[in-house]
Structure 1
Amino acid sequence: MVQILFLLALAASFAGYAAYLTGLKRDLVEPNRASWLIWSAATAVEASTYAAVNPEGLQRWVFLFATIACVAITIALWRRSAWTVPTRTEMFCIATSLTALAIWAMFRDAFWAHMLVVAAVPVSFWPTWASVVADRGRERSPAWGLWTLGDLATLMVAARTPGSPVGEYAYILVELICHASIWFMVGLATINPLRSLGFRNGRFYVLDAIRTPTNLFAVSENHLGKAVFAAAPFVEGDRLMSFTGRRFRADRIPSLMRGQSDRYVQVTPDHYMGPSGRIDDLVNHSCAPNAGLRFTDQGVVLVAIRDIAPGEEICWDYSTTLAESNWHMICQCRAPDCRRVIGNFSTLSPERQEWFRARNLVAPYLRRKDDFRDGQRAA
């Protein structure tokens, strides 16, 4: 029975990581990088400490496989998105979780290193919990259900091992609860194979049914590189997505930015919004945009400025936030009326400036004074 449970745990863990990597490759999930960095280090410590505390336990092989898979996902995650400084909460979670490494290195005390990893597990899940609360579509994957079942099987293996004290498999119990919590948050139906596999239009789809109404966009390639395309129709005035990067003072922005490092949006004369590591970083410029940035009390949101059909690239005009900036870029948007160079808002024609102002699609400091007296008339 123990052997069967062990094989079930290993199979569920393997299937979970395979499903998650597939979802990551197809942009079906938006993982939190801080959590995955912690999990990579924590599973490595756990694999070492558990093997030291319980050298005969079969479940140590599950932990070893989980370590390799976590590292693979973390590397894939960092390669596909630009690095941003973690928030204070994420930094606290990282520091708390990685304390186990220091204890292991300094004292070589496997048991207490193991216990500290157990205590750090809920802390490591905090950034992902916050991400799911903001948008559960970011983690809507069958992997969470598979990991939960794998943890349950691993826990049963540990419980059936003669002479195993509770402390030796406390990590498994805590991880089971954390994985199950994410599974409940994203929806128990995500593990339903009928929602994950199937034939449609003569093709076999894997994970395609996990796309929910919150997955309204697709990331693909165009002549500029990565770009965001509509996966559903939008009408003029629809809110498309939020821009959520961290703010930086202008003097902290690199003077030379190219390619993936150029993900900064000017939001005040002295501040820029940095990359978020999410889909908003990939929305390109166009001199004939179908979307525009609107600054509201709830944050910076991208709205449709005309009807957008499925398959159409989402674009906005970068100049609508730029003032007194030294930044400029040769434009390759290929629009019929391309300006050739993207520069400050003042480089637009007076008529075009008024068109954007009338629709409240410019940064606040670029509005006229009477716009403030009239209020958010176009919001």
Structure 2
Amino acid sequence: MELRPIEPADVDAVQALIESDPGYTERITGYPPGPADAQSLLMMRPEMLAEEAKVVLGGFEGDELVALVDLLRGYPDPSYAFIGLLQVRGDRQGCGIGRTAYRLVERFVENTWPEVRRLRLAVVDTNAKQAAPFWFRQGFEPTGEAKPYQYDQLTSTARLYEKPLCWSHPHLAVGESGIAGQGLFATAPIAAGEVVAVLAGRKVSTAELNELLQHPPVDTITLEDDLHLVLPGDPRPVIAYGNHSCDPNTWWTDAVTLTARRDIVAGEEVTSDYGTSTGVEDWQMRCSCGSDLCRGVITGSDWQRPELQDRYGDHWIPALRARQSG
């Protein structure tokens, strides 16, 4: 699927897609689709937003429009993008089109609007049975905020959902690694203490994670004893290409934030110690980092090693730090 901005020549295709799924329009307006719905979608935006802050994207398979996305940049503030609509053509629903379109939306936002750190959307109660499970699967969680919703005679409640996005330092790029496969490299100096990445993704249990690990690659960190964060997999975020090193140049400053452990020079591979973020007891991997401190095998029990506790101090993910303190 290709995701690209809708152009004037696409208006008829947009209208046809809206009409192909009348149930959605009826659930949020109380009426079937109208003949001008495509034009309304392309024009409507909050009054405080500039025209260029709104973009309507189409998911195309060849020349065929199969998905439609309405995005608002900087709403409700510059660190957010708001998803006003993600709709799949009626006869293509249940085929993974929505999931693919959403993943492309994430990549579009990350590549086009670097200041955006979170996605937000609203689910209307009259559409919640259909919409809420989908957004949960994409990693969105309710904020607890709810607002009255009314469209003519239809009265309901709109509930807000949010999802943080992975963020990577702009001076990072993927390249061939001497450690393993592809790795992450600094394209310019990064000073000690600078934030290198903020991770985000889907939260899963240990049982769910073990199932996912049967189909690598899976990029994950432990949040709690039975809760893990799995980064997006298709496409993978830039930070997911970071390799392990037993003498890394980044470390953790909270549950999802990696910062530079020391000054990182241009061209240097950017690494972390997987043992400081993995708490799955039966997990292990062989290491070929080449460091003088190389442990040979990295495990989900490395948090217990006294020499690593001394080396990294408080710079473990909080779940492992809690185990060490307990």
Aligned to 1:318: 274
TM alignment of 1:302-313, pairs within 5 A? 302-313=258-269
Paired AA for residue 222 in structure 2: Q
Aligned to 1:95: none
Change over 3 Å in CA distance of 1:117–1:232 after alignment to 2: same
Aligned to 1:21: none
Aligned to 1:111: 35
Deviation, structure 1 residue 114: 3.2
Unaligned runs of 5+ in 1: 1-32, 53-97, 142-213, 373-379
**Structure-2 separation of matches of 1:273 and 1:355:** 25
**Structure-1 separation of matches of 2:77 and 2:182:** 25
Paired AA for residue 257 in structure 2: V
Among 172, 189, 192, which residue is 1:217 paired with?
172
Change over 3 Å in CA distance of 1:347–1:249 after alignment to 2: closer
- Asked if the contact 2:281/2:301 (under 8 Å) is kept, the reply is no
Identity, % of aligned positions: 23
Deviation, structure 1 residue 101: 3.8
- Asked if the contact 2:303/2:324 (under 8 Å) is kept, the reply is no
Is residue 217 of structure 2 the alignment partner of residue 300 of structure 1?
no
Question: 3-state SS of the aligned residue for 1:342?
Answer: strand
Paired AA for residue 249 in structure 2: N
- Asked if the contact 1:46/1:114 (under 8 Å) is kept, the reply is no
Paired AA for residue 102 in structure 1: D
Which of structures 1 and 2 has the larger relative contact order (alpha carbons within 8 angstroms, sep 6+)?
1
* TM-score with structure 1 setting the length: 0.45
Aligned to 1:170: none
- Asked if the contact 1:235/1:308 (under 8 Å) is kept, the reply is yes
Is residue 19 of structure 2 the alignment partner of residue 46 of structure 1?
no
Change over 3 Å in CA distance of 1:131–1:361 after alignment to 2: farther
- Asked if the contact 1:248/1:272 (under 8 Å) is kept, the reply is yes
Larger radius of gyration: 1
- Asked if the contact 2:303/2:309 (under 8 Å) is kept, the reply is no
Among 215, 224, 239, which residue is 2:195 paired with?
239
Name the Cα RMSD after superposition: 4.4
Change over 3 Å in CA distance of 1:101–1:333 after alignment to 2: farther
Which structure: greater strand fraction? 2
TM alignment of 1:1-379, pairs within 5 A? 46=10, 48-49=12-13, 99-103=18-22, 111-112=35-36, 114-115=38-39, 117-118=41-42, 124-126=69-71, 129=74, 133-134=78-79, 138-139=111-112, 215-223=170-178, 224-255=180-211, 257=213, 261-276=217-232, 277-295=236-254, 300-346=256-302, 349-356=305-312, 358=313, 360-367=314-321
- Asked if the contact 1:132/1:139 (under 8 Å) is kept, the reply is no
- Asked if the contact 1:320/1:345 (under 8 Å) is kept, the reply is no
* TM-score with structure 2 setting the length: 0.52
Deviation, structure 1 residue 347: 6.8
**Structure-2 separation of matches of 1:249 and 1:45:** 46
Which structure: greater helix fraction? 1
Deviation, structure 1 residue 283: 1.5
Change over 3 Å in CA distance of 1:346–1:215 after alignment to 2: closer
Unaligned runs of 5+ in 2: 24-32, 45-53, 57-68, 81-108, 115-168
Instruction: Map Cα deviations across residues 249-282 of structure 1 (whole Å, 9 max, x no partner).
Output: 2222243637863111112111111114422222
Aligned to 2:101: none
Deviation, structure 1 residue 290: 0.9
